[in-house]
Structure 1
Amino acid sequence: MPAALLAVFAHPDDEALRCGGTLARAAAQGVHVTLACLTRGEAGRNTDPSLGDVELPAAREQELRDACVHLGIQPPRFLDSHDSGRGERLRTADPLACINADPVAVEDRILEVIAQVRPQVMVTFDPHGIYGHPDHLVAHRAATGAFARSAAVGRPVERLYYVAQLHEDMRALQGERPLGVLQGLDPDVYAVDPGLIAAQVDVRDYAAHKLRALRAHRTQTGPLSTLGRLSDTQLAPLLRRETFSLGGTRTPLPHHPLTDLFDGVTQGLPA
């Protein structure tokens, strides 16, 4: 089987900031990289007034397709749940919202993708969902469950990684031009101790791919967004390296921390 990686996230743009460089790097190495996205970001906001009136789900779907092109990965697979929103905009009345979904049913949809692409490696959110978004927590739980059950649909997935933010990175994003979703959150809860970093991937050669993918999400990185106003200083660490904790493994780790998500997997990287 060819080397394959499956990333599971909740909304268009979740893939770019935390692991876009790693996805681009893997694709450039010959890995078949697939992104499964639970929703089309229906509860988001258009932060770029120059776009005019947009049908947000369709716009965000296209933005994610464009971002995948910039990263050099396969077109995204949408799992057709709805964005739940968060805080005062939580869509509790939407029966298709992630928060109202049967968790095992979401796992089943991820397992269908696993059966088709047969990844050795999976990537998803950490247990706190970076900043606690309820859909991020659904994605984390469902992807972890699908990883555990993957032997039932053929070759079991060998590794599961969680995107993980270091305390220093989270504090940098909370300072200067604060990233709104992180304001008021405790790094001791939402960040990861350096000792838990199982993989640190050098993405400097793919920084341009990552930035293009991030900026493809125009509705989310417009002038009214805090994401679009991050300074070069705040972005710099995230353009040098991306960090991951270990969600599970069926193969031993050859060293710690790893420098590539495929270090020590049975399939390995293409020659």
Structure 2
Amino acid sequence: MSAPASLLAVFAHPDDEALRCGGTLALYAARGARVHLICLTRGEAGRNTDPSLGDVDLPAQREQELRSACAALGIEPPIFLGYHDSGRGDRLRRDDPLAAINADPGRMERQILEVIERTHPQLLLTFDPHGMYGHPDHLIAHRVATAAYASSGFRQVRVQRLFYTVQSREEMLRLQSGRSLGVLEGLEPETYAVCDCTIAARIDIRAHATQKRAALFAHRTQTGPLSTLGTLTDEQFAPLMAAETFSLGGIRSSVPQYPMDDLFAGLDVEFHAEVCGEEIRGGSAQEQFA
């Protein structure tokens, strides 16, 4: 019997979900998959780049921004694990006992496994091994999500496929040009991007570009006029609104083709959708978690 299609994404901060895989999350939610998101922190060490917001309680503001972004994408409300943003560089919070860098990775893994047991995902999405630009919390999210995928093989709910969000060398160079995306400045594409032959899946998200843009700009503290993310040119944004790319982190079943254009391809899953309160075949009844 086919299982309901389900996907779980694991990221570190509010806004991590939008730039590299927001369109993919929206696409599968629209098709009727159950789409859940784990966020390790509430982005406590970030900066408010939108002065019009005034003096905000940053963690509370960023939590609400992520909730709004999830609503824009049509996915379930975020699941927060309750750690603190570790910051990076000269703002690294080594003395914060709740910072993700100081947390027990085994405990994080167990928390993710608990969510896996509740949501029954066939797919797990997280950062690539370099965390897009090397943020310590991104690297931790990658590590604990990968560990949870591996150990799920011994549990009742076995995640079938693990995908990493990746950027091609061409994409990274474009984001480093002109008014560059600040977090990528000075980084070598040969390290932080991937070669084309590493891309295991390229997902067409053009039908969900409006949702992705809405989700991205729901993160007002991170996309304000003082940010580089919020002031990228249309030329830089256009490819990000057309397709999203993934590498393969793990697999427990064969795929019908490679590279893939559908992360669920070949899996025995069923999509559902609700229209006017009635569930119909073809697209998924979604669970709610507090």
CA contact (8 A) 2:73 2:215 kept: yes
For 2:270 and 2:241, the matched residues in 1 are separated by 25
Answer with 1 or 2: which has the greater Rg: 2
Deviations 1:119-146 (A, max 9, x none): 0001000000000000000000000000
Q: Which amino acid aligns with 2:224?
A: G
CA positional deviation for 1:260:
1.1
CA contact (8 A) 2:201 2:245 kept: yes
For 1:152 and 1:118, the matched residues in 2 are separated by 14
For 1:177 and 1:4, the matched residues in 2 are separated by 38
CA positional deviation for 1:155:
2.1
Question: Within 5 A, what are the aligned runs for 1:1-40?
Answer: 1-40=3-42
CA positional deviation for 1:269:
4.6
SS of 2:269's partner is coil
CA positional deviation for 1:254:
1.1
* 2:205 paired with 1:214: no
CA contact (8 A) 2:18 2:215 kept: yes
* 2:160 paired with 1:158: yes
CA contact (8 A) 1:207 1:240 kept: yes
CA contact (8 A) 2:174 2:236 kept: yes
The equivalent of 2:233 in structure 1 is: 231
Question: Within 5 A, what are the aligned runs for 1:231-270?
Answer: 231-267=233-269, 269=271
SS of 1:38's partner is strand
CA contact (8 A) 1:262 1:268 kept: no
SS of 2:38's partner is strand
CA contact (8 A) 1:114 1:153 kept: no
CA contact (8 A) 1:262 1:269 kept: no
The equivalent of 2:170 in structure 1 is: 168
Question: Within 5 A, what are the aligned runs for 1:91-110?
Answer: 91-110=93-112
- Structure 1: unaligned runs, 5 residues or longer: none
For 1:89 and 1:35, the matched residues in 2 are separated by 26
The equivalent of 2:189 in structure 1 is: 187
CA positional deviation for 1:153:
3.7
The equivalent of 2:64 in structure 1 is: 62
> How many residue pairs get matched?
271
For 1:164 and 1:253, the matched residues in 2 are separated by 20
CA positional deviation for 1:150:
1.2
The equivalent of 2:287 in structure 1 is: none
For 1:222 and 1:6, the matched residues in 2 are separated by 28
Q: Which amino acid aligns with 1:91?
A: R
CA positional deviation for 1:268:
5.6
The equivalent of 2:48 in structure 1 is: 46
CA contact (8 A) 2:4 2:270 kept: no
Given candidates 137, 144, 166, the residue that maps to 1:135 is 137
CA contact (8 A) 2:50 2:222 kept: yes
Q: Which amino acid aligns with 1:102?
A: D
Deviations 1:49-88 (A, max 9, x none): 0000000000000000000000000000001111000000
State TM-score, norm by structure 2.
0.92
For 2:84 and 2:33, the matched residues in 1 are separated by 29
For 2:120 and 2:156, the matched residues in 1 are separated by 8
- Structure 2: unaligned runs, 5 residues or longer: 273-281, 283-290
SS of 2:49's partner is coil
For 1:96 and 1:265, the matched residues in 2 are separated by 38
Higher strand share: 2
Q: Which amino acid aligns with 1:243?
A: T
SS of 1:119's partner is coil
Root-mean-square deviation (CA, aligned residues, Å) is 0.9
